[in-house]
Structure 1
Amino acid sequence: MSELGDRLAQRLGELRGRPVQVTRLEQASGGASRETWFIELVTSERLVLRRDPPGLARPEGMAREAVVLDAAAEAGVPVPRVVDHSIDESVLGSPYVLTEHVDGETIPRRLLRDDRYAAARSGLARELGRAAARVHRIAPPEGVPESDPLEQLVADYDALGDPIPAVEIAFRWLRENQPSESGRTLVHGDFRNGNLIVDPSGLRAVLDWELVHVGDPMEDLGWLCTNAWRFGSPLPVGGFGELDDLFDGYAEIAGVRPDPEVVRWWEVFGTTKWGVICRAQAEQHLSGAHPSVELAAIGRRVCEQEQDLLLALGIPEPEPPKQVESPASDLHGRPTAAELIAAARDFLRDEVLAGAEGRMRFQSLVAANVLSTVERELRLGAEQERRHRARLEELGFADRAALAAALRVGEADPWKQDVAALLWSEVSDRLAVANPKHTEARTRGGNGA
């Protein structure tokens, strides 16, 4: 057993006053900001450990999460029961929360496609509405943060120093259309498909409370409906169901029905926020603070949110540019760089993944997808770059940052045909390299914020 397993056994033994033996300790595959570990004891009892990555401790957040989990349970929100928590890094290496294990599925694509969950899906939008309303009835514990979410997001984005034209358009729209608050309540902050445990009977638990704060309760509903968390499904509520069902369930508990236009504003905000988060997570890798192939890969997902924003805000869409492969250089011969990358990718997919398990399997799949992105950029990138420079020059912009700056101050109108064409062609080119399936899902009806 690892050092972490030994520490867990010691801590649980202290809590229970008797020796405890850990027989299984496995790190979950995902989780870019916090680690999740599955634990099994010799008694067959199962637990789940969430902790900050060692060296990247955020003790206030972890302590707050433990307190809020207890409060949520008292309010009738389905959550895992807290077994232990501590911000003392000497206990388990970093601040943590230890909870009971809850049976069920968390992987979104299984929940949305597996016949086993068909009955649960039919009622899940209404059930999530009820759960969200119960969250919003919790009295905020002391120390829960409160800030202006839009201004905070703008500040986080500006700190990255990487202007994104579609995000600039979204910020202008959000400011010009900001609704009155629906109230000030506790907000989960990451209430979405992927942070839920569901079994064939329905919702079993709401997970990942690390972003809990005080704010407008409609933020949670908008985030749940953001296209990124539909995972290719055309249904607006987390890919599970319709808005009317979500609103009906919310009204059952809250006594008031959400305003669809307010929820839509928060949905656009959520799409913008996820685009900024993707770029910020990539920065953790680029800065060397937290090297990770997963974090590096997330940076290329910004263009998915750019497309979703252009669609949501009604930016006129022209025909997408035809993708033209760059000619192979005769200097280096065959295989070309793209062919070498494809060979390495296929090795990962066909041989490494076949024998990998758990987190290693997940990371290997991420690495294979990264190589696919690089392979497409090697084939398409040179011609895309030529077009990109020509389009910018035609409209008088020195570079992408200049376009973003003009959009910020209103000197460029994204609803004008020439600017809209520039925006769409740029995003289409980026998606053709980063994730062509995002556009394909849209043509099947699985997109549209």
Structure 2
Amino acid sequence: MDQALLEAAVARMLGPGGDVQGLKRLTGGANMESWSFDRDGQGYVLRRAPSAEMMAGRAYSHDVEAALIRLAHSHGVMAPEVLGELEPSDGLGSGYLMRRVEGTADPRILLDGPAPELLDQLARELARIHEIPLTDLPSGLPQSDAGELVEALAARFEAHGGDRPVMALALRWLRDHLPSPAQRVLLHGDFRIGNLMADDRGLTAVLDWELAHIGDRHQDLAYGCINSWRFGRIDRPAFGMGQFEELFVAYERESRIAVEPARFRFWLVYSTLWWGLTCLEMAEIWRSGRDRSLERVVIGRRASETEADLLMLLEEDAPESERRAVDLPQSPIVRRQGEPSQEELFEAVSEWIEQDLKPQLSGRDRFQANVALNALGMLKREGALPFDRTLSDDLLAGRATLATPGLLARLKRETLAKLAADQPKYSALHAARARWSA
């Protein structure tokens, strides 16, 4: 970030004032950059895409996003206060300036000891967002239809090889369980832990509006409940904070509209698959050169999380005879003598990062060191990958189903083997082993 350019842009938006101080990039944010700074005793955050390539594939511009956040703020949603937008002449890309909100978005802090009323506050914010009149929305927001969204997932699945049987199984299930049309409302689109700020008194801000669109309110309710966004709290399915029934009751109290469990389940499966395909898309973005960040490519290996989650969501539809316990062999630990093995070299580099390098780092650099450690761990554990185009095609066509003898057991073994290599600390790995093992 060029501080001189930033100071000029801020002066244009806010008027003359002091210098920018304490400029730092915030951790996280694989899609956009967020920069925090102070000026004249006030805190600000600049949200930006430094290049046009980073905006590729976006449904609308930052100007539309900023207008939407302003609208939500005016309707009482705890959205940040937008103060101005970047212009091409600023030389900083596209984006907008917000007043900084205090609190934390760190999932570990929010979920280790959430404020008692935080889940109720999330339900309240969703209800407020869904009540914003569609006639007030800025032009350019896409509208979603369940059938069209599922077929869009199918196209993405094919573009990424079409060879992952669990994803094919989920696609077929979604096609077979399309809900009837629902009332259309404004959706935040990315309402989840990680995009919500809170302090010890509760919610302070709803962030990251770049996926907002118009659709079924149940999509917003379900999205933040997928297991990847619970950050290890697999026993608390509602945003990692409570049970579904608690969320449903709170949302109905705030919106005066009852949640439909079957419709919610559809969007839970959809959102889980969507995130898995989005992970694969991250890898393609890295390969293309649009963004060669370490974080981007490592997220690509999180797709295996969603495959385990999908099996756990869908196995209840299998015949009882196919839901029996299965053998889940553990990979033996191989010790060797002589020159160091590939695994030992990975271990040595990991120890250097963990023990020597990381203690000297802070902020985003420390975050990136953790990402590097995750990447090395994946390489160290790399094993056979359970990809099968023929079986995927059979599942999509309905020639193979959860009633096919032995199929569910095979998918369980292969999925957990892949997950153990990619994300050995992921909550579903331990939960699935306990549920499925003989």
- Mark yes or no: TM-score above 0.5: yes
Change (3 A) 1:57 1:259: same
> Counterpart of 1:97?
96
SS at match of 1:205: strand
What secondary structure sits across from 2:36 in the alignment? strand
CA shift in 2, pair 1:158/1:131, >3 Å: same
Q: Deviations over 1:280-305 (max 9, x none)?
A: 11111123221121121112111110
Are 1:62 and 1:95, in contact at CA under 8 Å, matched by a contact in 2?
A: yes
Taking the TM superposition and a 5 Å limit, the aligned residue runs for 1:211-290 are: 211-233=211-233, 234-290=235-291
Aligned-pair CA distance for 1:444: 10
Q: In structure 1, what residue type is equivalent to 2:409?
A: A
Q: How does 1:306-345 map to 2 (within 5 A)?
A: 306-314=307-315, 316=323, 318-325=325-332, 333-345=338-350
C-alpha separation between the residues in 2 aligned to 1:324 and 1:219? 38
Q: Which runs of 5+ in 2 are unaligned?
A: none
In the TM superposition, what whole-angstrom CA distance separates every residue of 1:257-300 from its partner, at most 9, and x where no partner exists?
Answer: 11122112111111111101111111111232211211211121
Q: Are 2:139 and 1:142 aligned?
A: yes
Contact 1:39 1:48 in 2 (8 A): yes
Shift of residue 209, structure 1, vs aligned partner: 0.2
Q: Are the equivalent residues in 2 in contact too, given 1:10–1:20 (CA < 8 A)?
A: no
CA distance in 1, matches of 2:359, 2:434: 32
Q: Which residue of 1 aligns with 2:412?
A: 424
CA separation of 1:99 and 1:343: change in aligned 2, threshold 3 A:
same
Task: Show the counterpart of 1:408.
Answer: 396
Give the fraction of aligned pairs with identical amino acids, expressed as a percent: 35
Q: Contact (CA 8 Å) 2:84, 2:97: kept in 1 or not?
A: yes
Partner residue of 1:433 out of 409, 414, 421: 421
**CA 1:320–1:195 in 2, change beyond 3 Å: closer, same or farther?**
farther
Matched residues in 1 for 2:424 and 2:20: separation? 44
Whether the 8 Å CA contact 2:47–2:95 is kept in 1: the answer is yes
Answer yes or no: is the 8 Å Cα contact 1:317–1:420 preserved in 2. no
Q: Using the alignment, how far apart are the partners of 2:105 and 2:376 within structure 1? A: 27
1:440 offset after TM fit, Å? 4.9
Match of 1:158 in 2: 158
Which position in structure 1 is the counterpart of 2:377?
372
Query: Structure 1 residues 61 and 240, CA, compared in 2 at 3 Å: closer, same or farther?
Result: farther
How far does the alpha carbon of each residue in 1:9-45 deviate from its partner, in whole angstroms, 9 at most, with x for none?
A: 112222343233101111112111111111112x221
1:442 aligns with 2:431: yes
2:38 counterpart SS class:
strand
Give the Å deviation of 1:369: 1.2
How far has the Cα of 1:57 moved from its partner? Answer: 4.5
- Count of residue pairs the alignment pairs up: 419
Alpha-carbon distance between aligned partners in 2 of 1:194 and 1:17, rounded to the nearest angstrom: 32
Aligned to 1:6: 4
CA deviation digits over 1:409-447, x for unaligned, max 9?
11222333321122111111101211122245526999x
Measured in 1, the distance between the counterparts of 2:106 and 2:430 equals 19
Q: Tell me the alpha carbon deviations over residues 69-125 of structure 1, each in whole angstroms, 9 at most, x when there is no partner.
A: 011012111011001113x333142110110111111011111114xx4xx1x2222
- Determine the C-alpha separation between the residues in 2 that align with 1:444 and 1:203: 35
Greater mean alpha carbon deviation, residues 315-324 or residues 169-178: 315-324
More off after superposition, 7-16 vs 197-206: 7-16
Q: Distance in 1 between matches of 2:70 and 2:303?
A: 35
TM-score w.r.t. structure 1 length?
A: 0.88
Structure 1 alignment gaps of length 5 or more? 389-398
| Distance in structure 2 (CA, Å) of the matches to 1:244 and 1:322 | 36
Distance 1:249 1:92, change over 3 A: farther
Distance 1:320 1:135, change over 3 A: farther
In the alignment, residue 341 of structure 1 is paired with which amino acid? F
Asked if 1:72 is matched to 2:72, the reply is yes
Shift of 1:210: 0.1
Distance in 1 (alpha carbons) for counterparts of 2:242 and 2:330: 35
Q: Is the 8 A contact 1:403 1:412 kept in 2?
A: yes
CA contact (8 A) 1:135 1:188 kept: yes
Q: Render the CA deviation track for 1:163-188: whole Å, top value 9, x for unaligned.
A: 22111111111111122233111111
Query: Distance in 2 between the 1:98 and 1:68 partners?
Result: 14
Tell me by how many angstroms 1:364 deviates.
Answer: 1.1
1:247–1:445 distance in 2 versus 1, CA, 3 Å = farther
